[in-house]
């Protein structure tokens, strides 16, 4: 069970201190640069030595083609145009800005949300214990071009038709790729609509590239499009469009105004 230490207060630019099986990199930076209350120190010092695992790094299950694509985009990242996006199991490590949303929730809503978060949980795409069995992927972003490329290798636990990847798994990767583009460029968003046209099945264990691009923004509406192709670009597996809505932190409840 996760323990949320609200007694620590906000750290740095509003990050909360949270004791879990590990503290994410951003939480660690905030902790190292902040003056902590003595009551927190014993717990915090224990957690600082435990690093959150970045699952967007090579492991023994990655095929030669997966490694080739990873090395290709890593090389392209050296001039700063592309950037690899880290990926963690815990949502607060994966998207630390989500903590801001919690901090701005009304107290009652936040307490109910924390009850749910106290249970053991994992980000959906990182829910497999054994490497190579489920979603193996890494995302690279190009902020100037407003797009993301996801290198994806589906494992055997994602099977739909015999030998091929389940359509729901493809939809999940496309949703995460399009949503990642919207989140990285526009901040906190949630999916309002995702439309996918499936063109060709994706063989299990193959390597495909899911790409997304920010098309336009209308008020709180963020429009993103994308596609999934084979690593050589010859086969189109799926096309997708997504509508995402920017989230605005709920306003703190205010006492009713008295009579004039």
Instruction: State the pLDDT at residue 114.
Output: 61
Which of the two residues, 233 and 105, has the higher pLDDT score? 233
DSSP letter for each residue of 216-260? EEETTEEEEEEEEEETTS--EEEEEEEEEEE--PPPPP-PPPPP-
- pLDDT at residue 133 greater than cutoff 60: yes
Q: Which helix (H) or strand (E) holds 151?
A: strand 147-154
Report DSSP state, residue 203.
Answer: B
| Residue 239, both tokens | 């096309």
Instruction: State the pLDDT at residue 87.
Output: 92
What is the reported pTM?
0.71
Encode pLDDT of 74-127 as tens digits: 999 999 999 999 998 876 665 555 556 566 667 776 666 566 555 567 788 998
Instruction: State the pLDDT at residue 166.
Output: 98
Of 72, 81, 88, give the one whose Cα is nearest residue 147: 81
- pLDDT at residue 142 greater than cutoff 60: yes
Encode pLDDT of 31-88 as tens digits: 333 333 333 333 322 233 346 789 999 999 999 999 999 999 999 999 999 999 999 8
CA–CA separation, 71 vs 138, rounded Å? 11
Distances (CA, A) of 144 to 78, 185, 229: 15, 10, 22
- pLDDT at residue 211 greater than cutoff 80: yes
CA–CA separation, 75 vs 80, rounded Å? 10
Task: Go through 99-138 and write b for each residue having 16 or more CB atoms within 10 A of its CB, e for each that does not.
Answer: bbbbeebeeeebeeeeeeeeeeeebebbebeeebebbbbb
What domains can you pick out in the chain, each with its CATH number?
A: 1-52+106-119 (no CATH), 64-88+123-246 (3.10.129.10)
List all residues 6 or more positions away from 38 whose beta carbon is below 8 Å from its beta carbon.
Answer: none
Contact in structure between 163 and 206 (CB atoms under 8 Å):
no
List all residues 6 or more positions away from 53 whose beta carbon is below 8 Å from its beta carbon.
Answer: 22, 88, 89
Q: For residue 52, how many other CB atoms are within 10 A of its CB?
A: 21
- The catalytic residue positions are 175
Instruction: State the pLDDT at residue 100.
Output: 60
Tell me what the pLDDT averaged over the chain comes to: 77
Which strands sit side by side in the sheet containing 221-230, from one edge to the other? Answer: 83-85, 135-142, 147-154, 208-218, 221-230, 236-246, 189-198
């Amino acid at each position: 069970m996760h323990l949320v230490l609200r007694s620590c207060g906000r750290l740095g630019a509003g990050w909360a201190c949270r004791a879990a099986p590990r503290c994410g990199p951003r939480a660690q930076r905030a902790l190292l640069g902040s003056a902590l209350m003595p009551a927190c120190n014993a717990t915090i010092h224990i957690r600082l030595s435990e690093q959150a695992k970045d699952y967007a790094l090579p492991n023994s299950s990655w095929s030669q083609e997966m490694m080739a694509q990873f090395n290709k985009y890593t090389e392209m990242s050296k001039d700063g145009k592309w950037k690899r996006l880290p990926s963690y199991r815990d949502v607060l490590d994966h998207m630390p800005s989500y903590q801001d949303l919690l901090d701005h929730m009304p107290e009652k809503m936040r307490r109910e949300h924390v009850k749910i978060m106290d249970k053991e949980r994992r980000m959906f795409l990182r829910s497999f214990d054994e490497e190579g069995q489920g979603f193996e992927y890494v995302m690279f972003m190009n902020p100037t071009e407003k797009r993301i490329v996801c290198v994806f290798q589906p494992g055997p636990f994602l099977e739909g038709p015999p030998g091929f990847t389940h359509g729901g798994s493809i939809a999940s990767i496309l949703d995460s790729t399009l949503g990642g583009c919207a989140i990285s460029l526009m901040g906190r968003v949630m999916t309002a609509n995702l439309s996918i046209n499936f063109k060709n099945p994706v063989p299990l264990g193959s390597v495909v590239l899911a790409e997304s691009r920010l098309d336009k923004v209308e008020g709180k509406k963020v429009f993103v499009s994308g596609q999934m192709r084979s690593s050589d670009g010859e086969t189109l597996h799926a096309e997708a469009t997504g509508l995402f809505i920017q989230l605005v932190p709920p306003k703190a409840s205010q006492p009713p105004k008295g009579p004039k």
